[in-house]
Each structure stands twice: as structure tokens, then as C-alpha cells.
Structure 1
Amino acid sequence: METSIIDMVRQVEFLYIRESTYSEKEWHSRLHSHYFTEIIYVLSGKGTFIGEDVSQTIKRKDIIIVDPFVSHTEISHDDTPLHYVVIGLTNIKLTDKKNQQTPFHVVTDYSEELIAILKPAIYEISHKKKGKERVLKNFCEIFLIRLLRETNFGIVPIEDVPERQTNRQLKLIKDYIDNHYKENLSLQFLEERFHLNRYQIIHYFKDTYGTTPIDYVTQRRIMNAQRLLEDTDYMIEEISAINGFSSQSYFSQVFKRMTDMTPSAYRQAQK
């Protein structure tokens, strides 16, 4: 049995381990999904976990396992904000041998001994020490082995993971840009939000959509600026600000580079 668990864990790629504390005042819950599996261990507090159309109260010592591509979020109660550790892992998903049909799984009142395992991991998270990533990976492995030993969960490999994961993540990134292109988006932000290396994001996004993510942000801004120049009487300075440009002069420079016209000339040509 021990060997089979070790073999299963070797299939896993650990993406991250993070510590989070959220209260309703500072965290606006929004349904989202990942291409990978998430494991959440609640250190303290109380709240509600929502996955697809199912909700469940969560509290201290609960473990929540969320399958890939499941829309989910958590709502922290004001008087008892959730404090938890979350682990992201890919190439596999965890299945409950007793109940495989739910979009997420909750193990209630799990062993408090895990807190002793996670405390040094939390220290590593908040301190930039040499070998940090390797140490955190080791803690994740220990956590996962304990979970597999002491519960009904097993590991199931996901076939064709890289291509399916990448395609799904690229769609999520593009949809996010379409809805937030007016904001200050950067590769670092996209990297942290979607858990892909920035070089992967650039390569796969350009291969799929013919442009880089940041160039796509600029394209969406200019497209919206064109619409505002055509349909509104907004001043050019206002249109620049609405679309997230740092200055009117930079907006005019980018606009001319992409359309071969200044904003003023473009507006005049539409009359």
C-alpha cells in the first residue's frame, strides 16, 4: 500500500501552496475555475464554500478538494473570517471512492496534526529563503500522502492534461482580458492569477490568437476607443483615461501606430 501511494504522488506536479485570510469586507467572492485540482485546509474561521450549484458550510479543520474546471468560490463570515492554506496540483484529480459525483469534496473535522505539518510550510511561504520551492514541495507531498493514507480518496491521472489545460487556461485569460482590458494588466498579474509561467502565456497565447496577451490588451483598448470616437462626444483625454492609457500623448501615439491616423483625424473621418 505504501509503495502504491508513493507511486501515485510521483504523478503529481505541485503548482503552489499559499496561506490566505479573507473577510467579506476585503474579499469579493466570484465564481472562478482552474485547470488543476485545489486542496484547501481551513486553519480557522467559518464560511460557505460554493461549487457549481452546491454549497456547504466550512470551518476549522475541514478539507475541501476541488476538481479541475469546477466553478467555485468561498464566502467568509464577517465575525469568523476564513484562514486557510491552499495547495494547487496538476496532472491528476482526487476521487472519493464513496462519492465520485460531486463537484467538490469536503472532509470535515480532519486531523489537527496537519496544522503541525503546515506551520513550517506557512513560515516558508512568508520568508524568501534559499530552497523555498523545494521545501514547500516536500510539505505538499507529506500533506497529500497523509490525506491518501487516512481517507477514501485516490488519485486518477488526467489524460492529455497539458493540451487540455493550456487550451482552457488560454480561453480564461482571453475572456478575462475582454472584460478587464481597461485595467492595469501585466504579465506578472496574469501569471499570478492563472498560474502559468509568463513565457508559456506569451508563447501559447500568440500561437493560438496570433498576438501576445499585452498586445491583445492594447488592441481591445484601441477598438473601444474607436467606438467612443465614432459614437460619443467625449474629449480625447477622457477616451484615453477610460481605456486605461497612462496619458493622452501615449494614447495618441499608440492609436496612430495601430490605425495610421491620429484620434482627432479618425473622429473627423467618421463624420
Structure 2
Amino acid sequence: MDTLPFFDVEQIKRTGTFNMDSDHFHESYEIYYLLSGERYYYVNDRIYALQVGDLLFINKNQLHRTTSKGRSTHERILINFDDAFIEPLLELGAGELPLFQGESFLLRPDVQEQGRIVDILHAMLDEQKEAAMGYMPYLQALILQLLILIGRIREAAPEPVLPESSEKQRRVYRILEYLNAHYAERLTLQSIAEHFYISETYLCRIFKQTTGFTVIEYLNYVRIREAQTLLKETEHRITAIADKTGFDSIAHFGRVFKQIVKRSPLQYRKQNKV
């Protein structure tokens, strides 16, 4: 069965503190554009402080979360689209854009570039709302314009926008690197805290404040993301995959997998086998 193309664009304005609590990685690409206010954004195991006009391109299956920076109102436009949606664009050269092959990244366009981006985004919002004849290829044409513009802005940028780097954040970055390297082991809050010579309470507090995730929540996402790869690309039994990704039982693995992926490991394998 062919996969139906997926595309969605939405504009939302929120007042006061808001922290994202929806799925934190997915098999679609995401473009986040901040129209007003300030936000912290966790992606690529780093924290970025977003300001008005910033644009984030988030590659598929990359863990991310946005959290409040103060209590200010913020407004953003968010686009999600999958490989099936951009497949017709590949013949037009979109597949050559380096943004699809690399890591997620943050851009800080100038005022003129911001104007061009906002015009395209508003055209997308209007097209999706009206759903007139031919709106799907029209949206594909608009996303192609946006992707090429993003690629040009990125190429012309004098230097990348750097992540936040306070002493606390650097400590959390080291913890993130440790979790990514040791997720297959039977980790506990106590063992992680002891490794870094800090208390469990302090570990949990700085990790949540910096990333928006709890330590266990983050560890589960890393483990499940690796499990998805193994389910798609290997013939390993599900019990072996649970063990290889650090879960203490098949029941625990199945419960966490379904909570995050919304499907059982067996259903996921059947739908995504390479």
C-alpha cells in the first residue's frame, strides 16, 4: 500500500509559560519559525535560545522539545511533512539539498529574508485552509521554494548560531553524551548521579530545567529510537532488541515502546520492515 503524503502547517499564539509535551521525535521533517516572543529549544543534544525571526529545521527522528524562556507570550508557525510529500520534488533537485542529509540546525535570517519566509508561510496557511482545486501540488511548490530559500540562507550565513553554554548547560551536555553512549546498560538515577559525583535530586533538577525532559524520559526516547532502527533493519528477535537497548524485561520494553510509538514493536516491524 502506498503511503499517503503528509503535510501540515499551523500558526499558534500562546500566552505565558508553555512547555511542549507531545511526541518528541517522529518520522517527518519539521520547520519551526518564531514569529514573536522567546523560546528555548532542545535539539541535537544542545539548547538554543530562539529569538524573533529564528527558523529551526528539524530532521526526521531527531529528539526535540521547546520550552519557555521567561513568561512572555510567543507565536510560531510549525510545518510537518514526510518523505512521501516531497517525493515529487526530488526530481526537481530538492533531494540535492544538504539539509535532508545532515543534522537539525538553527538559522537567524536577516529582516529581508524573514519577510520572504513569512510570505511563503502565510501562503501555505491560506492554501491549507481553503483546500481549493490543486492545493496539494501548490503546497508542494511552496515547500520547494521554502527549502531552497533555507538552503541559500544557510549557505550564505557567516557562521552557525551557537547553542547555549553556561556551566550548568555544559554539565548537562556531558550527561547527555553519557546517556547516548551507555543507554544499552542497566542505568539508574543513582548510578548516573554517582558517575558525575552529584546527588540524584540535583541531577534530575538540572536535567529537566535544561532539556525539558526527565532523565528517564530522555533515556527511554533514546532506547526506543534505537529499537526502531533494529526492528526495521535487522532480524533480531524482539526479546533480543529489548535486551540490546537496555530494558530489564520484554514487558517493560513493550509498554514504553507503545507509549512512545503508539504501536507495538511487532506492529511497527510489520509496517516498516526494510
TM-score by length of 1: 0.46
Determine which structure has the larger strand proportion and give its number.
Answer: 1
Structure having the higher Rg: 1
